């Protein structure tokens, strides 16, 4: 019996990792936050408000998470409806590829925004169903490690996807340098020109849709434990989380933190492209540095979360999250390479934060209520980013330029988000997590671990020198 459970667990992990790889390719190419979505928006003539709108759409869609619960609450199984939702929403990305052939100007931007919203809304509802499904399969005692290891696989996938398609896209935009001279001598490469950017986007979004479809088909092979059906009325189910004082405190913290994160959030990628003049390959190097830092640190974060709790780990990442944006305040075209240093600390911070946000709500929700708790949590956290992202796009501050300093409007917002992120420590202290350990105890453990590693490295070096 034990051997059977071990084989079954291995199958669950294998399928989850496999479908996650193809889902990540889809996300890297056409989900909210994708650099290719940003490039496509610029191609369509987007301005600051539109970037804010796209960021808001990516988060407004999260308000549809509770729909996932409503759709499946009376169903004995979640698999059929989830697979259909994923197939529909991911295949719909093919419409992005066709859009420039039928629309242009303001009309194209409106149609793209509407399509993007519809797809991401369905994806959000589907994500809520998936998190409930996977929470039933993975025991809480190892959930932190599961999400961290899975995230490592997905980050490596995102890294490779970004590199391949960034090089592919830059081949269309490159007009000078080695590639340009090489293109002049190879007739087959004559297609890679700026005039054919529409075709480049068509290729990217078509492959994105294909990867998304493959992911959904793999997910259809995943095991599903029998789903418990509860007799509560829908109104009681939707309102019961709000009578949980600890959950309300978690919502207050998460909304506070995401409000802070949303300030300036639409402008990270556009700032790289428009103000730092970085091409997609250089931006991908930043992504690579960040991903490598994430992959290396995730292994330790997963164990740290399982040992000390989500709250304690989050307190550390909030501190790191406030430091990162200040680096951007000093960047310009001449010193843009400094952003790669920030990519290391940013990767370390966000790798933990993403796992915590997935795992935190599951750790404090009552048994059998994780799906509705997760859905409401996702909706409120999304609302925070929506509000501040839209306000950032509407109320863009003026640049500060004089004989001593030159600060772009985006950099003022980056400094503001840094300060605001630190204030989230206040509501985080109100949240109670049963198995969370004190922050001081966790920091002492981290210091002693680092000290031990330094000692071991010293002993190893001494042994090497003595030989």
DSSP states of 224-247: -PPPP-----HHHHHHGGGG-HHH
184-193, 198-207, 283-292, range with greatest mean pLDDT: 198-207
Helix (H) or strand (E) holding 401: strand 400-401
Task: Give the Cα separation of 422 and 424 in Å (integer).
Answer: 5
421-467 pLDDT, tens digit per residue, is: 999 999 998 988 877 777 777 777 777 766 666 766 666 666 655 55
Helix (H) or strand (E) holding 221: none
Q: What pLDDT score does 210 carry?
A: 94
Q: What pLDDT score does 426 carry?
A: 93
Give the pLDDT mean for 302-322.
Answer: 86
201-217 pLDDT, tens digit per residue, is: 889 999 999 999 999 99
Task: Give the Cα separation of 345 and 343 in Å (integer).
Answer: 6
Task: Give the Cα separation of 180 and 187 in Å (integer).
Answer: 12
Give the pLDDT mean for 335-360.
Answer: 85
Span of 66-75, 103-112, 118-127, 255-264 with lowest mean pLDDT? 66-75
Q: What pLDDT score does 86 carry?
A: 92
* Cα radius of gyration (the chain): 23
Average pLDDT, the chain: 81
Select the more confidently predicted residue: 117 or 233. 117
pLDDT at 1 over 60: no
Give the pLDDT mean for 172-194.
Answer: 58
Q: How would residue 197 be classed by pLDDT, with cut points 50, 70 and 90?
A: confident
Class of domain 2-436: mainly alpha
pTM greater than 0.75 (yes/no): no
Are 267 and 48 spatial neighbours (Cβ–Cβ below 8 Å)?
yes
Report the b/e string of 33-57 with b at 16+ CB within 10 A: ebbbbbbbbbebebebebbbbbbbb
Q: What pLDDT score does 8 carry?
A: 57
């Amino acid at each position: 019996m034990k051997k059977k459970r071990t084989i079954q667990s291995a199958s669950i992990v294998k399928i989850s990792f496999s479908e996650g790889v193809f889902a990540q390719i889809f996300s890297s190419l056409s989900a909210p936050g994708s650099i290719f979505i940003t490039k496509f928006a610029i191609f369509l003539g987007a301005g600051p408000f539109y970037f804010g709108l796209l960021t808001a759409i990516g988060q407004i869609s999260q308000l549809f998470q509770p729909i996932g619960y409503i759709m499946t609450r009376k169903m004995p199984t979640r698999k059929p409806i989830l697979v259909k939702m994923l197939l529909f929403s991911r295949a719909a990305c093919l419409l992005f590829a066709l859009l420039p052939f039928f629309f242009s100007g303001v009309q194209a931007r409106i149609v793209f925004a509407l399509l993007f919203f519809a797809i991401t809304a369905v994806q959000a509802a589907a994500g809520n169903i998936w998190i409930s499904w996977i929470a039933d399969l993975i025991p809480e005692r190892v959930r932190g490690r599961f999400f961290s290891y899975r995230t490592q696989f997905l980050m490596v996938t995102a890294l490779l996807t970004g590199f391949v398609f960034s090089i592919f896209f830059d081949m269309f935009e490159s007009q000078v340098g080695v590639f340009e001279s090489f293109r002049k001598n190879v007739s087959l490469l004559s297609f890679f020109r700026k005039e054919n950017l529409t075709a480049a986007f068509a290729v990217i979004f078509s492959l994105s849709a294909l990867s998304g479809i493959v992911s959904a088909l793999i997910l259809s092979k995943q095991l599903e434990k029998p789903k418990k059906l509860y007799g509560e009325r829908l109104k009681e189910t939707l309102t019961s989380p709000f009578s949980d004082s600890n959950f309300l405190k978690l919502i207050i913290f998460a909304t506070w933190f995401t409000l802070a994160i949303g300030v300036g959030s639409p402008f990270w990628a556009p700032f790289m492209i428009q103000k730092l003049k970085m091409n997609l390959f250089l931006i991908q190097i930043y992504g690579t540095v960040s991903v490598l830092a994430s992959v290396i640190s995730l292994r330790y974060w997963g164990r740290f979360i399982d040992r000390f709790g989500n709250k304690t780990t989050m307190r550390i990442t909030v501190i790191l999250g406030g430091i990162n944006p200040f680096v951007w305040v000093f960047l310009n075209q001449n010193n843009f390479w400094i952003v790669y240093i920030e990519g290391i600390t940013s990767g370390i911070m966000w790798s933990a934060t993403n796992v915590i946000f997935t795992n935190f709500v599951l750790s404090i929700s009552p048994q059998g209520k994780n799906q509705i708790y997760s859905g409401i949590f996702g909706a409120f956290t999304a609302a925070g980013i929506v509000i501040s992202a839209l306000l950032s796009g509407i109320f863009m501050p003026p640049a500060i330029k004089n004989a001593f300093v030159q600060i772009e409007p985006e950099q003022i917002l980056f400094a503001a988000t840094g300060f605001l992120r630190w204030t989230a420590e206040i509501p985080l202290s109100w949240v109670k997590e049963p198995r969370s350990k004190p922050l001081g105890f966790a920091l002492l453990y981290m210091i002693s671990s680092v000290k031990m590693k330094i000692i071991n490295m010293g002993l190893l070096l001494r042994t090497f020198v003595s030989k």
